[in-house]
Amino acid sequence: MTRMPRIKIAPSLLSGDFAMLAHECQRMISYGADYLHMDVMDGHFVPNLTLGAPIIKSLRPHTKGFLDCHLMVTNPEKWVEDFAKAGADQFGFHVEATSDPETLIEKIRNHKMRASITLKPDTPVEAVLPFCDKVDQVLVMTVEPGFGGQKFMPNMMEKVRTIRAQHPNLDIQVDGGIDTTNIEVASKAGANVFVAGSSIFNSISPEATIAELRRLAESQTN
Q: 159, 176, 189, 198: which is closest to 72 by C-alpha?
A: 176
Alpha carbons 50 and 113: distance in angstroms, whole number: 21
203 is in an annotated binding site: no
198 is in an annotated binding site: yes
Q: Per this entry, what is the length of the chain?
A: 222
Quick check: is 136 catalytic?
no
Alpha carbons 77 and 95: distance in angstroms, whole number: 12
Quick check: is 175 catalytic?
yes
Alpha carbons 129 and 143: distance in angstroms, whole number: 20
70 is in an annotated binding site: yes
Q: Which domains does the chain have, with CATH numbers?
A: 8-218 (3.20.20.70)
How far is residue 222 CA from its own chain's centroid? 23
- Active-site position among 34, 39, 42, 89: 39
- Active-site position among 68, 171, 175, 179: 175
Alpha carbons 128 and 169: distance in angstroms, whole number: 16
Alpha carbons 147 and 139: distance in angstroms, whole number: 16
190 is in an annotated binding site: no
Helix (H) or strand (E) holding 171: strand 171-175
Alpha carbons 123 and 32: distance in angstroms, whole number: 33
Chunked in runs of 10, what are the mean pLDDT values of the chain (222 residues)? 83 95 97 97 89 96 97 97 98 97 98 98 97 98 82 96 97 97 98 96 98 97 76
The model's pTM? 0.96
**The predicted structure's pLDDT at residue 222:** 64
